């Protein structure tokens, strides 16, 4: 057993008392670092549809008709992208398909229809892209290894069989389309590469590229439908186009609205022997949440999810409503443990809204941090890119556990207590070195409250996990 494996071969037993003052219960939690799973790429969110302007402070959107001050703009950026907050490392930008820049549309880089797929398009870039250029730069300043995933919600309307970027429709040229203007697949691929080039000229590297968003839906805003066969029809054009370009950008597909909508699309792409063109299999969590792993050896990212219902609530634990922090702590943990994801992205990071899309609410010049933000932070702050998930098993239904070993040899163990009593967890390790162990508690009262955990020698330490709370144990 390696030193690291040794350090992490933990056996934890938990003594707990139930809420009715009854018998203390005990649980066994075993963390076995010799059993390793997927690599962790990171956590993040999007500020598409001009939501980046909310953080930038360039658009007054709340009824207060006031924007974030430069001070609070910096505060939000620091909360999102530095150790002061969640230390997120993935930003999902939106690639526009709209002909105007009216709020909250995403402007296309081909605002005028060139008339035919073979005509030379006139590319235009306003160097702002709904403040996403600014945000990408600010994020990168704070998070040098930031990963940017640029995703298109639709091709421009003139490339589609319904003539608009909205209301679904398909890219002309894929199976089932019969467009008078012809096959626009190459033109769309060229446009996406040109988008990457415009960002490169701003000094911003686009690491990942997506050409679909929720292709299982036709919505009133930018949307383009695609099954797996139609996605394959485009992948066979996009992949070589990107390969010929100077960019090393990797391809993501297909950002379906739910997990079960992705499964048949992946199978259809595999049937065409085109899975190799897709670096990351991507899906959202809305219509069907992450469940069992996809049948793929490629990495999987959950790239968009939030509880869209009103009203905004920053609460950790009240009635287990779908927007509460403790619920999201479990959503994130389940995705890593049960669905084998390598990344987990919220819909929005910070914006003004009346619902629960963002993790941080901007109202005029105020900044309100939800407990969902701190739930995410448990996974993004103590687990870092390149980490490996390692095996964590709990014998108690009340204690949900996961663990990751970081590239620097530190490890983070996430314990969520959904029960009504405090669990006094006695960790037993097979390791003799006394590591420095800190715990971080989040519940209704605290946000990542740090405590030092005493190492008792011979591989044991114990820590308390209060009822309805989440504690990260970080071994440094």
Ligand X SMILES: *[C@@H]1O[C@H](CO)[C@@H](O)[C@H](O)[C@H]1NC(C)=O
Instruction: Report the nearest approach of ligand X to the CB of residue 432 (Å).
Output: 33
User: What is the token pair recorded at 159?
Assistant: 């490339």
Instruction: Report the nearest approach of ligand X to the CB of residue 425 (Å).
Output: 16
Q: Is 297 in the site for ligand X (CB under 6 A)?
A: yes
Size of the site for ligand X (CB under 6 A): 31
If the CB atoms of residues 129 and 227 are measured against ligand X, the closer one turns out to be: 227
If the CB atoms of residues 126 and 420 are measured against ligand X, the closer one turns out to be: 420
Rounded Cα distance, 94 and 81, in Å: 19
**Which residues are registered as beta bridge partners of 438?**
452, 474
Nearest-CB residue for ligand X: 162
If the CB atoms of residues 29 and 196 are measured against ligand X, the closer one turns out to be: 29
Question: What is the dihedral angle through the alpha carbons of 391, 394, 400, 406, rounded to the nearest 10 degrees?
Answer: -30
If the CB atoms of residues 13 and 223 are measured against ligand X, the closer one turns out to be: 223
Instruction: Report the nearest approach of ligand X to the CB of residue 476 (Å).
Output: 26
Tell me the window of 100-108, 198-206, 312-320, 384-392 that interacts with ligand X (CB under 6 A): 312-320
Instruction: Report the nearest approach of ligand X to the CB of residue 102 (Å).
Output: 17
Q: Is 267 in the site for ligand X (CB under 6 A)?
A: no
Rounded Cα distance, 59 and 2, in Å: 54
The candidate with the shortest Cα–Cα distance to 266, out of 311, 238, 232, is 232
If the CB atoms of residues 129 and 423 are measured against ligand X, the closer one turns out to be: 423
- Which residues make Cβ contacts (< 8 Å) with residue 292, sequence separation at least 6? 338, 339
Instruction: Report the nearest approach of ligand X to the CB of residue 89 (Å).
Output: 17
x/- string (CB under 6 A) for ligand X, residues 400-439? ------------------xxx-------------------
Q: Is 71 in the site for ligand X (CB under 6 A)?
A: yes
Instruction: Report the nearest approach of ligand X to the CB of residue 22 (Å).
Output: 11
Tell me the window of 102-110, 166-174, 179-187, 229-237 that interacts with ligand X (CB under 6 A): 166-174
Q: Is 366 in the site for ligand X (CB under 6 A)?
A: yes
The candidate with the shortest Cα–Cα distance to 369, out of 180, 377, 123, is 377
Instruction: Report the nearest approach of ligand X to the CB of residue 113 (Å).
Output: 15
For ligand X, which residue of 190, 342, 406, 410 counts as binding (CB under 6 A)?
342
For ligand X, which residue of 200, 217, 218, 424 counts as binding (CB under 6 A)?
218
Q: Which residues, 167 to 206, sit near ligand X by CB under 6 A?
A: 167-169
If the CB atoms of residues 19 and 116 are measured against ligand X, the closer one turns out to be: 19
User: What is the token pair recorded at 145?
Assistant: 């290894």
User: What is the token pair recorded at 450?
Assistant: 């740090």
Instruction: Report the nearest approach of ligand X to the CB of residue 170 (Å).
Output: 7
Q: Which residues, 315 to 334, sit near ligand X by CB under 6 A?
A: 315, 318-319
For ligand X, which residue of 58, 82, 162, 456 counts as binding (CB under 6 A)?
162
- Which residues make Cβ contacts (< 8 Å) with residue 453, sequence separation at least 6? 437, 438, 439, 461, 462, 463, 473
Rounded Cα distance, 337 and 325, in Å: 18
**Which residues are registered as beta bridge partners of 32?**
391
Q: Exposed, middle or buried by CB within 10 Å (0-12, 13-18, 19+), for 116?
A: exposed
If the CB atoms of residues 169 and 285 are measured against ligand X, the closer one turns out to be: 169
Q: Is 84 in the site for ligand X (CB under 6 A)?
A: no
Instruction: Report the nearest approach of ligand X to the CB of residue 60 (Å).
Output: 5
Q: Is 299 in the site for ligand X (CB under 6 A)?
A: yes
If the CB atoms of residues 94 and 169 are measured against ligand X, the closer one turns out to be: 169
If the CB atoms of residues 164 and 241 are measured against ligand X, the closer one turns out to be: 164
Instruction: Report the nearest approach of ligand X to the CB of residue 19 (Å).
Output: 6
Q: Is 100 in the site for ligand X (CB under 6 A)?
A: no
If the CB atoms of residues 109 and 172 are measured against ligand X, the closer one turns out to be: 172
User: What is the token pair recorded at 146?
Assistant: 């930031």
Rounded Cα distance, 32 and 392, in Å: 6
Tell me the window of 69-77, 194-202, 432-440, 447-455 that interacts with ligand X (CB under 6 A): 69-77
If the CB atoms of residues 385 and 459 are measured against ligand X, the closer one turns out to be: 385
Task: Write out the residues near ligand X by the rule CB under 6 A.
Answer: 19, 38-39, 60, 65, 69, 71-72, 162-164, 167-169, 218, 293, 297, 299, 313, 315, 318-319, 340, 342, 365-367, 398, 418-420
């Amino acid at each position: 057993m390696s030193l690291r494996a040794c350090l992490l071969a933990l056996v934890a037993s938990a003594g707990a008392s139930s809420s009715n003052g009854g018998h203390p219960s005990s649980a066994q939690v075993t963390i076995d670092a010799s059993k390793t799973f997927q690599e962790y790429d990171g956590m993040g969110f999007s500020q598409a549809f001009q939501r980046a302007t909310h953080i930038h402070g360039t658009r007054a959107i709340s009824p207060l008709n006031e924007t974030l001050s430069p001070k609070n703009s910096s505060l939000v950026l620091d909360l999102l992208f530095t150790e002061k907050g969640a230390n997120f490392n993935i930003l999902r930008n939106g690639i526009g398909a709209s002909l105007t820049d009216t709020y909250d549309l995403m402007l296309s880089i081909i605002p005028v229809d060139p008339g035919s797929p073979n005509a030379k398009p006139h590319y235009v870039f306003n160097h702002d892209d709904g403040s996403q250029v600014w945000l990408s730069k600010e994020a990168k300043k704070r998070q040098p290894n930031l990963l940017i995933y640029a995703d298109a919600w639709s091709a421009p309307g003139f490339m589609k069989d319904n003539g608009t970027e909205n209301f679904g429709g398909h890219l002309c040229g894929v199976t089932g389309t019969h467009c008078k203007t012809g096959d626009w697949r190459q033109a769309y691929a060229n446009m996406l590469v040109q988008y990457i080039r415009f960002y490169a000229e701003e000094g911003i590297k686009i690491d990942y590229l997506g050409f679909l968003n929720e292709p299982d839906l036709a919505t009133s805003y930018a949307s383009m439908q695609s099954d797996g066969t139609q996605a394959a029809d485009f992948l066979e054009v996009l992949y070589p186009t990107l390969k010929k370009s100077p960019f090393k950008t990797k391809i993501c597909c297909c950002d379906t609205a739910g997990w079960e909508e992705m499964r048949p699309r992946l199978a259809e792409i595999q049937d065409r022997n085109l899975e190799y063109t897709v670096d990351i299999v991507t899906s959202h969590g809305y219509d069907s949440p992450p469940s069992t792993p996809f049948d793929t050896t490629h990495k999987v990212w959950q790239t968009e999810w939030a509880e869209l219902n009103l009203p905004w609530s920053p609460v950790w634990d009240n009635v287990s409503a779908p927007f509460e922090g403790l619920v999201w702590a479990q959503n994130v943990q389940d995705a890593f443990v049960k669905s084998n994801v390598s990344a987990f992205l919220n819909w929005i990071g910070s914006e003004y809204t009346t619902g629960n899309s963002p993790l941080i609410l901007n109202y005029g010049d105020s900044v309100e941090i939800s407990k969902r933000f701190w739930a995410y932070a448990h996974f993004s702050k103590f687990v870092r890119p390149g980490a490996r998930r390692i095996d964590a098993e709990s014998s108690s239904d009340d204690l949900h556990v996961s663990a990751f070993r970081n590239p620097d040899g530190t490890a983070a163990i996430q314990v969520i207590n959904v029960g009504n009593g405090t669990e006094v967890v006695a960790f037993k390790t097979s390791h003799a070195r006394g590591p420095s162990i800190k715990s971080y508690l989040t519940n209704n009262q605290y946000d990542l409250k740090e405590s030092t955990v005493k190492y008792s020698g011979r591989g044991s330490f114990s820590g308390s996990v209060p009822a309805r709370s989440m504690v990260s144990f970080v071994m440094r």
